[in-house]
Structure 1
Amino acid sequence: MNQKELISSSVEVIEGCDGLLTEILVRLPLRDVITFKGVSKRWLSLISDPYFSRRRATVQGTRFSGLILDPEVVNPQHRELTFFYFNKKIRRPCRRRRIFCPKVPDNCSSMLQSCNGLMLLRRFSDMFIYNPTTGDKKPLLSPFPSFDESASPEYSLAFDPLRFLGYKLICIFCGKSSKKDGYQTMIYSSESGTWKHCGSSFSAPLDMDFAHGVYFKDSVYWIGNRSKTTLRFDLKTECVKDDMPPLPPAPQYLKVGGSSYWVNVRRSLKLAYNGYGYILAPACGYMNLIGADFEFCMRVFRLMEDNYSSSKSWVLMHSVDLRRTNLKRFLNTGPAGNYSILHLIKDGEDDEMALFVQIDRKVIALRLKDHTRYDVFDFDLKLQKDPRSFTGVMGWYTAFEYVESLACL
C-alpha cells in the first residue's frame, strides 16, 4: 500500500468513527471547529451535540481567553462594548484577524454576569442566557407570575462543564411582606427547564449584594461590604450556607466612623463602607478576595482551609500601594481613586497572579509577585465618553470574563 492509499484509508477510518473524529476535533482551535460545522450535516450534528462541548472543555479546559468591557454610560446609544483577546502563551493581548472574536451582545442588553463561557443578560424586564462564542441566546421563563412585582429578585448564573451538566440559575428574592420575613431561593436547571423552590427561608444582612454573585466550585458566593459577611449557595445541597469566615478588617489607616464612599471597581460601582470595598475574584484554583481603598492601596487575600479542623480563613497573599510601583506616573495625572480593578488572573506557570487595572485610557496588568507591569490594552482615542454620565463614572468599564465555549443552550 503506497502513501496515498494509506492516507485515504486512514481518512475513511476516521470518517467512519464518531468517537475518533470527536477526539480529533476537540483538540483543534475554536475557529477551525466552527468552520468544520459546514463540512456536512453529520459533522454539524457531531459538533452541536452537548457531549462535544463538554468533551472539548475537558480537553482544553475553561481558561480565561479575554475580557468584554462594558462602559458605564447612562444612554445606551453611547454604549460601545470593547473586547480584547488575551494570549496566555505570550502574555500579551492579541488582535490578529485569525484569532476568533466573540459576538458581543447588542447595546440594549445589560450584561449581569459571565461564567465559564456563558453570560446572563437582561433586556428591559426579560432575562436571557447568551453564548458569546456561538451568538446563541435563550430567553428564560420568569419564576414569578407576570403580575407579581413585589419579589425584587436577583439572579446568579452557575455554569461549569467540568463539574455538572447544563447550567443553573439561582434566584434570591424577598419574602411575602419584606426582607424581615427572610429571603427565599429558587433554582433553575437547563436539564429540566423548570424552576423549583429549594430550602427554607434565610436571613441576611441588609447590605448583602445578591446582584453580583460569583460562581466557584459548586457554589455561588455573595458578600456584604459593611457587614463583612459572605454567604454561599451550595449547588450540591441546594441551600444557602453561612459557613464562611468574616471579611478581613479594613487597614488601620482608614478612618472608622460610618462614612460611605462610591468606589469604582469591577462589577460596576459598589458601595464601600468607610472608604474600603471588597471584590470576590476566583483565580489559580482558589477563591480570592481583593480589598481596595478609595485611593491607591490594594490587598489580595486567599480563602484557605485548615486540613485538620476544616476551618476556613482569609490569608493575606499580596499588598500593593500603587504609588510605590511604576504606575505612579499615571496616577499623578488624575485625582485619588482614579483607577478601576477589572480582573484577577493567573500569571505564568507558577501559582502567581496579576491584576488588570484600568488607569485613564489604558488597561494595565500588574504582577503581584514583583509589582512590575505590562500594557494590555489601549482604548481607541476616538471612543467618546457619554456627556450625560455622572461625575466619577465617565470612562470607566465593567469587565466580563470571556471563555471559549460551544455549550448548547
Structure 2
Amino acid sequence: MSHNTELISSSAEAIETHDALLTEILVRLPLRDVIAFKCVSKRLLSLISDPYFSRCRTTVQGTRFSGLILDLDFIHPEHRELTFFYFNKKLRRPCRRRRIFCPKIPDHYSYILQSCNGLMLLRRFTDRFIYNPTTGDKKPLPSPFPSFDNSHFSKYSLAFDPLRFLGYKLICIFRGKFSKRDRHQTMVYSSESGAWNPCSSSFSTPTDMDFAHGVYFKDSVYWIGNKSKTTLRFDMKEERVKDDMPPLPPLPPGSQDLNVGGPVFLALSELNSKKAYNGYGYILAPACGYMNLVGFDFGFYVRVFRLKEDDYSSSRSWILMHNVDLRRTSLKTVFNNLNLPNTWKYSILHLIKDGEDDEMALLLLIHGKVIALRLKNNTTYDVLGLKIKGNNPRYYYNFPGVMGWYRAFEYAESLACL
C-alpha cells in the first residue's frame, strides 16, 4: 500500500513539474474545475492565467456559445433585470440553482455594449471596461483621447479570437472636433501593449454607417449602413478600414430603407409614429461558421442571407437561405391572441445554430417568452419564460421589431486574462 502511495505521489510531482503535460491535462477538464485549480498554488495560477493556456484550451474545446444574456431594460436601473439562459436544453433551468453557473455583470450601472467570444465590453457612465463574465475579472480601459481633446464622435468595437491572435483588441472609430461629418479616423487598443495607437489615414464613409454595433468575424470587424447599402470592415492584420465588401441585397418590392441601430434607439415620440416602422433593414449575424445577414421590416417578414466567401463581386454574393412570413408559421395563433399593434407583438433577439449541421433558428421574444423558430421547417419550441419583476409590462415590449437584437449578447466560456 505504501509503495502504491509513493508511486502515485511521485507521478503527481512529475506531472506538476512538467508544464506541457500539465497543460494537456488541464485544458481537457470542465471549466469550473480549471478555475478551482487556480486556487491550489501560485504555480497553477500562473500557468492557467497565461494567455497561451487559454489559447490551448480553446483549440481543444473550441469556442462554444453556450447561452444568451438579455439586458432588455437598460433605461431604468431600478427595473433592470439581466436574464440568462443556456442553449443546451438540459441546462435550461433558472440560474438560481447552485450547480448551474450564471454569468453576471458587476453592478446595475454597468451596461453591456458588446460581447465577443467570451469577453464583454462594458460602459459605466463615461468609463469603459473589458469584462470576463466567466471569471468575474474586470479591467478599466484608458481613454484614447487626451483629457483636453475629447472627440465629438467615438464608437468602440471589441475583437477577441484566441484561435487567431493572442489577447484582445479594441477599435475606436472617431471624428475629431474639426473633421467633416463623413471623415473618420481609427485607433486600436491592444491588450498586449496596453496602449492606443493610431492607424492609417482618415477615411470617408456614408453618414448612415452604424459604428455603434460592430460585429467581429474571422480577423475583421464589420459595420453596415442600411440606407447606403454599404458594408465596411476593419482588417485586424493590416489594421485599416477596407471597403471591399459586396453591397447589401436589394430591398423586397415595396419596402423602404430603415436606419436601425445607432447610438440611440427609437425615442418615445417615434414609438407611436407609424413612420418609425415603415422601413426595411439588415443586421449582420455570424452563425455556423458563416457571415449571415438578417433582413427584416417592422411587420412579420424576415429573410436570412449567407455570404459567399469566394465571391464579393456584387449583391448576389449574399445568397438567400430563408424567407419567412411569421404569420404563416405556428406563431400565427400567438400573434392573433395578442391585443397589441403589430410592431409590438415580438422582438427578434438572435440567430443561433440549431442542430448538428448548418441549420439555424431565430430566437424571438413574444409576450415575455423566448421562442425558437427553426428556419428549415418553420417549427417552434419554447426556450424560456421571463419572470417580470413587479409585473412590469414595459419589460415585454421595450424593443419592438428587431430592437431587442441589440440587447441580446452571446455568452461563451472563457479563461482569458485581461
TM-score, length of structure 1 as denominator length: 0.89
In the other structure, the counterpart of 1:345 is 352
Alpha carbons 2:182, 2:207 under 8 Å: kept: no
Alpha carbons 1:216, 1:287 under 8 Å: kept: yes
TM-aligned CA deviation for residue 307 of structure 1:
6.3
1:402 corresponds, among 407, 411, 414, to: 411
In the other structure, the counterpart of 2:92 is 93
Distance of aligned partners of 1:39 and 1:53 in 2 relative to their CA distance in 1, 3 Å threshold: same
**Counterpart mapping for 1:306-325 below 5 A:** 306=310, 313-325=317-329
TM-aligned CA deviation for residue 281 of structure 1:
0.5
In the other structure, the counterpart of 2:145 is 144
More helix by share: 2
In the other structure, the counterpart of 2:273 is none
Distance of aligned partners of 1:307 and 1:74 in 2 relative to their CA distance in 1, 3 Å threshold: closer
Distance of aligned partners of 1:292 and 1:158 in 2 relative to their CA distance in 1, 3 Å threshold: same
TM-aligned CA deviation for residue 118 of structure 1:
0.7
TM-aligned CA deviation for residue 153 of structure 1:
0.6
In the other structure, the counterpart of 1:125 is 126
Q: Which structure 1 segments of 5+ residues have no match? A: none
2:290 is matched by which residue type in structure 1? Y
Instruction: Name the CA distance, whole Å, in 2 between partners of 1:125 and 1:269.
Output: 22
Deviates more, 1:162-171 or 1:96-105: 96-105
Q: Deviations over 1:183-202 (max 9, x none)?
A: 11111111111111111111
Distance of aligned partners of 1:295 and 1:70 in 2 relative to their CA distance in 1, 3 Å threshold: same
Instruction: Name the CA distance, whole Å, in 2 between partners of 1:54 and 1:185.
Output: 27
Distance of aligned partners of 1:216 and 1:181 in 2 relative to their CA distance in 1, 3 Å threshold: closer
1:287 corresponds, among 285, 291, 304, to: 291
Q: Check if 1:385 corresponds to 2:389.
A: no
Alpha carbons 1:244, 1:312 under 8 Å: kept: no
TM-score, length of structure 2 as denominator length: 0.88
Q: Check if 1:357 corresponds to 2:360.
A: no
TM-aligned CA deviation for residue 121 of structure 1:
0.9
Alpha carbons 1:85, 1:101 under 8 Å: kept: no
Once superposed, what is the RMSD of the aligned Cα atoms? 3.0
TM-aligned CA deviation for residue 4 of structure 1:
5.6
1:335 is matched by which residue type in structure 2? P
Instruction: Name the CA distance, whole Å, in 2 between partners of 1:7 and 1:34.
Output: 24
Paired residue secondary structure (1:191): coil
Instruction: Name the CA distance, whole Å, in 2 between partners of 1:182 and 1:229.
Output: 16
Distance of aligned partners of 1:283 and 1:227 in 2 relative to their CA distance in 1, 3 Å threshold: same
TM-aligned CA deviation for residue 7 of structure 1:
4.2
In the other structure, the counterpart of 1:78 is 79
1:369 corresponds, among 376, 390, 397, to: 376
Distance of aligned partners of 1:302 and 1:163 in 2 relative to their CA distance in 1, 3 Å threshold: same
1:132 is matched by which residue type in structure 2? P
Aligned residues: 401
Q: Which structure 2 segments of 5+ residues have no match? A: 271-275
Instruction: Name the CA distance, whole Å, in 1 between partners of 2:390 and 2:376.
Output: 33
In the other structure, the counterpart of 1:211 is 212
Deviates more, 1:209-218 or 1:9-18: 9-18
Alpha carbons 1:127, 1:140 under 8 Å: kept: yes
The percent identity for this pair of structures is 71
Alpha carbons 1:172, 1:185 under 8 Å: kept: yes
TM-aligned CA deviation for residue 109 of structure 1:
1.2
Paired residue secondary structure (1:112): strand
Deviates more, 1:344-353 or 1:267-276: 267-276
Deviates more, 1:66-75 or 1:219-228: 66-75
2:342 corresponds, among 336, 341, 349, to: 336
Alpha carbons 2:129, 2:141 under 8 Å: kept: yes
TM-aligned CA deviation for residue 356 of structure 1:
1.1
2:381 is matched by which residue type in structure 1? Y
Instruction: Name the CA distance, whole Å, in 2 between partners of 1:80 and 1:68.
Output: 10
TM-aligned CA deviation for residue 12 of structure 1:
3.4
Instruction: Name the CA distance, whole Å, in 1 between partners of 2:233 and 2:260.
Output: 25
Q: Deviations over 1:276-315 (max 9, x none)?
A: 1211100111110000111111000011034698998111
Paired residue secondary structure (1:286): coil
